[in-house]
Structure 1
């Protein structure tokens, strides 16, 4: 009888925030990990900590996923190492805050590459791999910003709208096979997102609504294994998403512009 092959969950943006918390949540469930991030040092520290605490296999790859060939490099690494991927979590992403015409174009296009193109490429490359498993999962991380246009976060919210739409379509296309596809749409999370986006002035207000990464991760993993199409952590976020569906778009955009105004 042939030996059962070890399977892994591959997580991008795994060195901090929700990605790190999801890695730990999966390790608690004795799931082996492939962790991807730009920071080799942070990944190495996390690798040792998870191995020591949970006794699972953890392999790491430091790479900048905002580069156009990054997804192919990740796939080549997995193939060369003969890792069997059962779960793909596309978590890496970031936002830029400011008026579209005033923000640097190359920075915005780089964000598009990471938030959309790399996610698309990783899904395309790994769906055939995942389809060889009896049961497999894809989790694409969106945002509650996906459900509305957000002035001064125009491109970020648009990239997350793409993720939501793409994920739902891919889920339908794969529904008769072994791969379950879900979209996680968190609201404000205490991850440092606002700082990278240049939203430091928003931090004090966000603190009132911020969820902890560990709480979001636990909801995400439970939703993933339950096969949910959309996972929205937090009651306030669920209400806001439903409000976006029934209220006039112009009203929602005016409210968002007031919250994130420059």
Structure 2
């Protein structure tokens, strides 16, 4: 299938980490991309590299999705340029580490806006466009944090629990449509997440289990095209999620608090 017959893939948080690696994975397969993130320079550099290496079209939209009305601006951009979107990758998101009582409320609310509201907004606004394709996909990048409460990452883990629940329900509702919905929940990944979250590397035991972004991206794209409902990459992560189902919550939360201790 040539690029001309393939729809665009919209990727949020595309300038780095998992989003950037997913962009390369899809570009390798000849998909034109719509790259959205805050950083103008990083997006343009990525777009140029993708176009040179893979000959695909990769327009960029530098925008802070956590601001009010940002999702509508993304949709306006798509409609004005008449981009046929067949894939939505809801990847943008971040965490805030620390005791909830000592964290900025503004920062926490901004994280909730990006991690939850934008996922809902873009999914809802793009459904009419996605439904025009013979086969379309929504890939929500979640986290193993969705399966448990995580002290010092309290709001972040709650936002991911929301994404997991939302994805499960949306997938069921769209069963009779051409849109497949996948929730992909990695554990620790070697990206800038920990740095932005403010996690102290001296106390970050989870760093031992880091996966590489390109490895995670390959598995995520494969899961999406295989129409998987819910995927947790990595044996250790699968075991940890299974343990959350059978072990006492107090024990799980104490263990998580020890990993991400202040």
- Normalising by structure 2, report the TM-score: 0.96
SS at match of 1:189: coil
Alignment of 1:26-175 (within 5 A): 26-175=26-175
User: d(CA) in 2 for partners of 1:6 and 1:175?
Assistant: 22
User: d(CA) in 2 for partners of 1:227 and 1:5?
Assistant: 20
1:171-227 CA distance string (max 9 Å, x none): 000011100000110100000100100003357633321000000000000000000
SS at match of 2:27: helix
Partner of 2:187: 187
User: d(CA) in 1 for partners of 2:203 and 2:53?
Assistant: 32
Contact 1:171-1:180 at 8 Å conserved across structures: yes
Distance 1:254 1:206, change over 3 A: closer
**Cα offset, 1:5, TM superposition:** 5.8
1:19-38 CA distance string (max 9 Å, x none): 00000000011111000000
Contact 2:203-2:261 at 8 Å conserved across structures: no
Alignment of 1:206-221 (within 5 A): 206-221=206-221
1:61-103 CA distance string (max 9 Å, x none): 0000001211110000000000000000000000000111110
User: d(CA) in 2 for partners of 1:134 and 1:200?
Assistant: 47
1:93-114 CA distance string (max 9 Å, x none): 0000011111000000000000
After superposition, the CA RMSD in angstroms is 1.1
User: d(CA) in 1 for partners of 2:232 and 2:202?
Assistant: 22
Contact 1:194-1:203 at 8 Å conserved across structures: no
User: d(CA) in 2 for partners of 1:72 and 1:6?
Assistant: 24
SS at match of 1:72: helix
Contact 2:205-2:260 at 8 Å conserved across structures: no
Partner of 2:239: 239
Partner of 2:197: 197
User: d(CA) in 1 for partners of 2:75 and 2:232?
Assistant: 29
SS at match of 2:99: coil
User: d(CA) in 2 for partners of 1:65 and 1:41?
Assistant: 17
1:12-54 CA distance string (max 9 Å, x none): 0000000000000000111110000000000000001000001
Where structure 2 has 5 or more consecutive residues not aligned to the other structure, the ranges are: none
**Cα offset, 1:248, TM superposition:** 1.3
Contact 1:194-1:202 at 8 Å conserved across structures: no
Distance 1:117 1:204, change over 3 A: closer
Distance 1:251 1:205, change over 3 A: closer
- Normalising by structure 1, report the TM-score: 0.96
Partner of 1:18: 18
Q: Does 1:253 find its partner at 2:253?
A: yes
Where structure 1 has 5 or more consecutive residues not aligned to the other structure, the ranges are: none
User: d(CA) in 1 for partners of 2:161 and 2:117?
Assistant: 13
